[in-house]
Chains A and B, each alone.
Chain A
Amino acid sequence: MSEGLHNFWKILSVPDNVPIVLMILLVSFYSWLAYKQARRNDRLGIYEATQSDKVQVWPYLVKIEFLVTIIILIILTVWSITINAPLEEAANPTLTPNPSKAPWYFLGLQEMLVYFDPWIAGVMLPTFILIGLILVPYIDPNPKGNGYYTFKERPFAIATFSIGFLILWVLLIVLGTFMRGPGWYYFWPWEFWDTHRVVALTNVDLWEGLFGITSKNVDGSFNLLQVALGGILVMGWLVAIPMWVWKKYKENSAVLKQMGALKFGMTVVLFMMMAGLPIKMFLRLAFNIKYIWVFGVGHDLFFNI
């Protein structure tokens, strides 16, 4: 235990990781600040900032920003003098480091590789994240919340941000940095990062686990029943549920009316994909579910979700 904690302290204090520790503190602090202000605004019902509270960017904001720049410069100077900038061993194609980790800002993506095939975790989801972020200003018609924080007026946006960014991005980075050790195995802080650790990891496809319906037939071809069930589930998640919501609420919900079918469609597909990730993570971690839909064309094109 103490050896493990010692190990954990070593990991925390590696010059590489110190900024990530700082990131935890900063992100927590600013999230807390924003939530606090949002709650206060909601309680007081003050959503429109008064004119008197506003000042010009130039010079009042720029002045402070410049000040912060100097502070950052000072911190960086002292930081670089006092640590020796860490270099790892020379790259060696025959000897990869264990664990092999992506740059820290991609560790969330790397974590997704545990739950999805690379084409989803490494290609499709990042593409959707980028496209989604670009689309945000266009699919969000809500003018409220400019210049102040609020829960009441933007519940969906804040919830999506909190789950999507704070949990699925930042938290996974933290997890990937501090909890994923050799073999990309999960290590608790009190556990020593043992290169030789053995973990029982066996998975089963969803339908086989539930009803014994195998993904493939004995001869290696796809089990059509499974393909159909998986297809129904995935399509239901991405298409049927949104359509049902749209049909049920479009008359009553001002928000839905305002969005219109196109914006709603884009938003909801992006949202369902985002929400799908933690569900798949849960299925994997709790029930060892490997795929919920195994499907492919020929020998090269696989479509395993």
Chain B
Amino acid sequence: MANTNSNMPKKAPWWNPGKFFAVRKEIPIEQRSYTKIYGILAILLFAFTVWAVLDEVMTRRPWKDVQADFKEFKATRLNLEIKKEKAKIDPQVRKDLKKKLAEYEKQMQSDSYLSTLDQITDVEKKVNKAKRDYTFAKANSDETYYYLDEERTQHKDTTSRAKDYREIEKEKVKLLVVVNDLLHQDTVLKAKILPIQKGYKEAQRINDSVYANVIALQRKLEAVDKMPIAVKQTMLVNYEKTNFNNLKMRIDRCETCHMSYADPLFKNDTIVTTDKAEVKAWLKANKYNDADHYTIKKLGTNKDTTIAVVSALFRLHPNVDLLIKGHRLGEPPGVGVLGCTSCHGGQGPSIVSPEFAHGFQEHWAEPLMTGHYVESSCQNCHSGKMDFEGAKWITMGKKLFTDFGCYGCHNMPNYEDVPGQAPSLVNVSKKLTPEWIYQWIKNPKGWGKSARMPNFMLSDDEARQVTAYVVDQSKGGTYSPLAHYGGGGDVARGKETFFDAGCVGCHAIDEYKGDENMRLKEGNSFGPNLNKVGSKVTAEWMYDWLKNPKNYLKHSRMPSLRLTDQEAGDLTAYIMGHTGTNDEVKSSLNVDITNASLIKKGESLIRSYGCFGCHEINGMENESKVSVALSTFGKKTPGELFYGNVDGEILGGFRKEFKKAGLDLGQVEEHAIHDNQDWYTWVVGKMKNSRMYATERIPQRMPNFQMSNQEAFALTVFLKSQTGAFVPTGYADPSKEPVQQALDKGRMFMHWNNCVGCHKIESAGGYVSKFIDDKYAGNENIAYFNPPYLGPEGLRVQEQWLHQFLSGPFKIRPLVKMRMPSFGFSDAEIGTATNYFLGMHKRPFVMTSYDYPTIQSLVPTGKYLVDKLKCVSCHTIGGAGANPAKAPDLENTKKRLRPDWIAMWLAHPDAQMAGTPMTGFWWVNGKMAAADSSAMGGDPMMQIKAVREYLHSIGKDVIPSSTPYATINGSDKYILPNGDYEAALMRAEMPNANMMMSKPAPMKKQSELNTSKKSKSISMK
């Protein structure tokens, strides 16, 4: 207890708290001093407050350093550019300019010049003074006059005031004279030095124009210097919805650090080479002095290839036109302006640290999409698109999703009307034996590596049951062959036919191998691999199938190639010779498959596995899809996914395995990786082994597609895109535009029917070319062998002709051996294709008539030119002319080609189809010029028009036609404005010269597609 009277105890050292407090306790409370403690705490509080301020303005604003760094870096780059620009100017010119300027400068330093300048200064000083005096006098005069006027009005005596006024006026005039006199002196003096000044200015102007680029760069340099360190942001008005469904603005501040994303100064940002010294030299030459500004990587599996890349922080965004300008980044805030996070994800408003800004933190739902996963964002708005330019993995993922028939079991937007991928089974027992069906069901990939049918992991008994039902249900099938194989056939001839008729466009056989690693239905992997088909079907069936595919399968994608009996026989002999070996399946059918209980069990198995999702099966036409919808699958959290007994080691193994193959799975926030259980590993595991997560209690029915790593990866990119993302109004969802819809539908159509197997259409396709090039390497006419490029089809042919051609194709190009097959397209399908071709060039979706009366006056000139230019050395006219004919017959142009296309084509063939063998007679040295000096006064436009009119005059009035393979059902829904000559004449007008000389409007400009509410046809006037 404290004693108020005790003596003050001795002080204890503060560094020994036990003793210190013990001693302190002895002091009575009233006498204890807190001064020191207060002092220390006050200092601490102050210090920590200072720390808080520093933390706020510095530690938490790392972007300030980044911006300072960027300013310095950009200045370095600009100085480099300035140096380069200066080096471009002729040294002699620079010398002369310098000399001239120096001359003038010398003159301007001469005594006479300087003294004149002094005199001018003196005079101007005097002028100023005189002007001031005059102004005072004038004001004085005005004031006096006012009073004088007042006195007059009031009838007072004005004598003295009037006298004053007169004197002041006199003084005023005198001063004015002085002013004028001085001004005159000034003018005279200035005139003396004017020539020198003028000359100097002119010399400077010339200097500036020569150095214009340098000066512009120097201005930029000044701007960099003045650039404030400040947060930069893009505002996406009404861009997103909160979880409570309210529209809200999104703010992206990415450009606060990524300042160079649209700055062309940073375009040369990579070098790929095997030489390390070269990389070093490149870095030095481009002033990459700071190691933060570049990274050196090894490229892919080739360990020798070194690649230096400028760091992502200070580099130009790839494909700026499409990805930045096309998405309106950097435009002032407004509806429709996209930001960075729209595609890349991440936490837009955060600039506290890279981790936060990129969203790699707990609870941020949309972290940065790393690696190829950024591609999945395309799908948010372009959901109907099939090919994404520059986005390989989402394109492949989407095609694989289609080609594996995933939509057969999973509901998916845009796939509502797509028929099942696999063949109908209603007639299957007429084609296949139960034994074959049994072993196929057991293990499809065991039968052929390229099999797309997945393995359902059925037990022997289950496979027997399914076989029993499949065979049983096809008893109702009505198939009977129309054509009968008489035996025989020449194998060697069959092999030729297989190639020349175009079977190789869709089927893999022998040396024409398909892609087993990426089982896309494209090119010759489209149809089944035929290497073992001889042990699968009978020759009798094969013959009829080749002759009449639609006889066995009403909706088959296999077209008719209009084979003669001999060709079909040869082909049958050739194909059926491929029997392969068959040792994968050990067990065999061995049961009576007509047993009713077996059939019933098979039926229930088929119902539970949902085979009808892909196959047409008798009695199961109206079943619904057996598995979950995937429309928001990409947003699932690990907690929503079931991992069964799969441990992190296996899942982590996938991550490593894929990384090794150069396929980096998406980055996950570190906290989220519990035992590697994240979205990416789950999906990859499921793709590689679909039953992986099954447990005793939770069986899984998804069959095993046994995917390659590439396939699995492509599908994860596509599945990641299934976010059910909300696209706000005003942020155009291009897939809703009619043109875009036509394109989307068309691309699906071209993929679905493998048109791209033979034809190059947009950027992809024409896969047979490699076989043709191999087979006919060295042939002088090889340029004529490939099926035509269809990119400009919508500009080229008349819609009526196209309709007729697609209904029943016929030969156009004499040297193309492959036949355009008879697909038996319906009107609606032909419409899809037509609209696609038209949509590519933003032409209206109507069938137009191109009939117009020939302009007879031009015909003779046209004939003269056709003869002179020797068109018939490649073309024929009515069968006569080039022998062998190489190019299409000119008699057919009237009904086949659009008049404006003929003009464009003649003017500059290479612009329309790069690499065409057609000669551009009117294209000389990069511009349009007369092909003949005399005709039509040497006017190239008129010459072209004349040739066209000649072709029109000799044109046949009917569209040639082979016997259409399928009768066209339904009435023709297009309106043909026959006899509308006025409109037709306008159509026959020439397109303007610019159009003729330029490439067709590129498809890339999405922004144009989005904004054109009504697609306009081009150059009708």
Complex: chain B residue closest to A98, CB-CB: B639
Are A67 and B38 in contact, with the CB atoms below 8 A? yes
Are B244 and A93 in contact, with the CB atoms below 8 A? yes
Complex: chain B residue closest to A71, CB-CB: B41
Are B1 and A60 in contact, with the CB atoms below 8 A? no
Tell me the bound Cα distance from A279 to B33 in angstroms.
53
Are B243 and A91 in contact, with the CB atoms below 8 A? yes
Tell me the bound Cα distance from A92 to B55 in angstroms.
32
Q: Which residues does chain A contribute within 8 Å of B45, judged by CB atoms?
A: 70, 73-74, 77
10 closest A-B pairs by CB: A89-B363, A92-B243, A77-B48, A70-B41, A195-B639, A81-B55, A88-B363, A55-B29, A60-B29, A74-B45
Are B42 and A77 in contact, with the CB atoms below 8 A? no
Q: Which residues does chain A contribute within 8 Å of B675, judged by CB atoms?
A: 3
Complex: chain A residue closest to B55, CB-CB: A81
* Interface: B880 (CB within 8 A): no
Q: Which residues does chain B contribute within 8 Å of A71, judged by CB atoms?
A: 41
Are A74 and B48 in contact, with the CB atoms below 8 A? yes
Are B48 and A67 in contact, with the CB atoms below 8 A? no
Q: Beyond A70-B41, A70-B42, A98-B639, is A53–B2 a contact (Cβ under 8 Å)?
A: yes
Are A67 and B44 in contact, with the CB atoms below 8 A? no
Are A50 and B1 in contact, with the CB atoms below 8 A? yes
Q: Which positions 267-301 of chain A face chain B at CB distance < 8 Å?
A: none
Are B41 and A67 in contact, with the CB atoms below 8 A? yes
Q: Which positions 22-79 of chain B face chain A at CB distance < 8 Å?
A: 29-30, 34, 37-38, 41-42, 44-45, 48-49, 51-52, 55
Q: Which residues does chain A contribute within 8 Å of B242, judged by CB atoms?
A: 90
Tell me the bound Cα distance from A148 to B244 in angstroms.
55
Tell me the bound Cα distance from A80 to B642 in angstroms.
38
* Interface: A87 (CB within 8 A): yes
CB distance from B24 to the nearest CB of A (A): 13
Question: What are 7 inter-chain pairs, A to B, with CB distance below 8 A?
Answer: A3-B675, A53-B2, A60-B29, A73-B45, A74-B44, A81-B55, A89-B363
Contact of B48 among A64, A78, A88 (CB under 8 A): A78
* Interface: A154 (CB within 8 A): no
Q: Which residues does chain B contribute within 8 Å of A81, judged by CB atoms?
A: 48, 51-52, 55
CB distance from B724 to the nearest CB of A (A): 12
Chain B 572-585 near chain A by CB (<8 Å), digits 1 or 0: 00000000000000
Tell me the bound Cα distance from A67 to B38 in angstroms.
7
Are A63 and B34 in contact, with the CB atoms below 8 A? yes
Contact of B4 among A52, A64, A80, A95 (CB under 8 A): A52
Are A52 and B1 in contact, with the CB atoms below 8 A? yes
Complex: chain B residue closest to A89, CB-CB: B363
CB distance from A250 to the nearest CB of B (A): 42
Chain A 115-154 near chain B by CB (<8 Å), digits 1 or 0: 0000000000000000000000000000000000000000
* Interface: B365 (CB within 8 A): yes
Tell me the bound Cα distance from A72 to B52 in angstroms.
15
Are B48 and A60 in contact, with the CB atoms below 8 A? no
Q: Beyond A60-B29, A67-B34, A81-B52, is A89–B365 a contact (Cβ under 8 Å)?
A: yes
Tell me the bound Cα distance from A263 to B642 in angstroms.
58
Are B55 and A196 in contact, with the CB atoms below 8 A? no
Are B49 and A77 in contact, with the CB atoms below 8 A? yes
Given A87-B363, A91-B244, 18 new contacts (CB under 8 A): A3-B675, A53-B2, A55-B29, A60-B29, A63-B34, A67-B38, A67-B41, A70-B41, A70-B45, A73-B45, A74-B48, A77-B52, A78-B48, A84-B352, A89-B364, A94-B243, A98-B639, A195-B639
Question: How many B residues are at the interface, by size bracket?
Answer: 20 to 34
Which B residues are closer than 8 A to A by beta carbons?
1-2, 4, 29-30, 34, 37-38, 41-42, 44-45, 48-49, 51-52, 55, 242-244, 352, 363-365, 639, 642, 675
Q: Which residues does chain B contribute within 8 Å of A195, judged by CB atoms?
A: 639
Q: Which positions 42-65 of chain A face chain B at CB distance < 8 Å?
A: 50, 52-53, 55, 60, 63-64
Tell me the bound Cα distance from A3 to B55 in angstroms.
35
CB distance from A61 to the nearest CB of B (A): 9
Q: Which residues does chain A contribute within 8 Å of B363, judged by CB atoms?
A: 87-89
CB distance from A219 to the nearest CB of B (A): 36
Complex: chain B residue closest to A54, CB-CB: B29
Q: Which residues does chain B contribute within 8 Å of A74, judged by CB atoms?
A: 41, 44-45, 48
Complex: chain B residue closest to A90, CB-CB: B243
CB distance from A288 to the nearest CB of B (A): 24
Tell me the bound Cα distance from A64 to B33 in angstroms.
11
Q: Which residues does chain A contribute within 8 Å of B243, judged by CB atoms?
A: 90-95
Q: Which residues does chain B contribute within 8 Å of A50, judged by CB atoms?
A: 1
Tell me the bound Cα distance from A289 to B363 in angstroms.
38
Q: Which residues does chain A contribute within 8 Å of B2, judged by CB atoms?
A: 52-53
Complex: chain A residue closest to B1, CB-CB: A53
Q: Which residues does chain B contribute within 8 Å of A53, judged by CB atoms?
A: 1-2
Tell me the bound Cα distance from A53 to B2 in angstroms.
7
Are A55 and B48 in contact, with the CB atoms below 8 A? no
CB distance from A147 to the nearest CB of B (A): 15
Complex: chain B residue closest to A182, CB-CB: B639
Q: Which residues does chain A contribute within 8 Å of B49, judged by CB atoms?
A: 77
Contact of B30 among A60, A67, A80, A98 (CB under 8 A): A60
Tell me the bound Cα distance from A53 to B3 in angstroms.
9
CB distance from B525 to the nearest CB of A (A): 40
Chain A 172-202 near chain B by CB (<8 Å), digits 1 or 0: 0000000000000000000000011000000
Chain A 184-226 near chain B by CB (<8 Å), digits 1 or 0: 0000000000011000000000000000000000000000000
Complex: chain B residue closest to A60, CB-CB: B29
Q: Which residues does chain A contribute within 8 Å of B244, judged by CB atoms?
A: 91, 93
Q: Which residues does chain A contribute within 8 Å of B30, judged by CB atoms?
A: 55, 60
Q: Which residues does chain A contribute within 8 Å of B29, judged by CB atoms?
A: 55, 60
CB distance from A185 to the nearest CB of B (A): 15
Are A67 and B37 in contact, with the CB atoms below 8 A? yes
Tell me the bound Cα distance from A98 to B640 in angstroms.
11
Q: Which positions 82-111 of chain A face chain B at CB distance < 8 Å?
A: 84, 87-95, 98
Q: Which residues does chain B contribute within 8 Å of A88, judged by CB atoms?
A: 363
Complex: chain A residue closest to B38, CB-CB: A67
Q: Which residues does chain B contribute within 8 Å of A90, judged by CB atoms?
A: 242-243, 365
Complex: chain B residue closest to A82, CB-CB: B55
Complex: chain A residue closest to B635, CB-CB: A95
Q: Which residues does chain A contribute within 8 Å of B352, judged by CB atoms?
A: 84
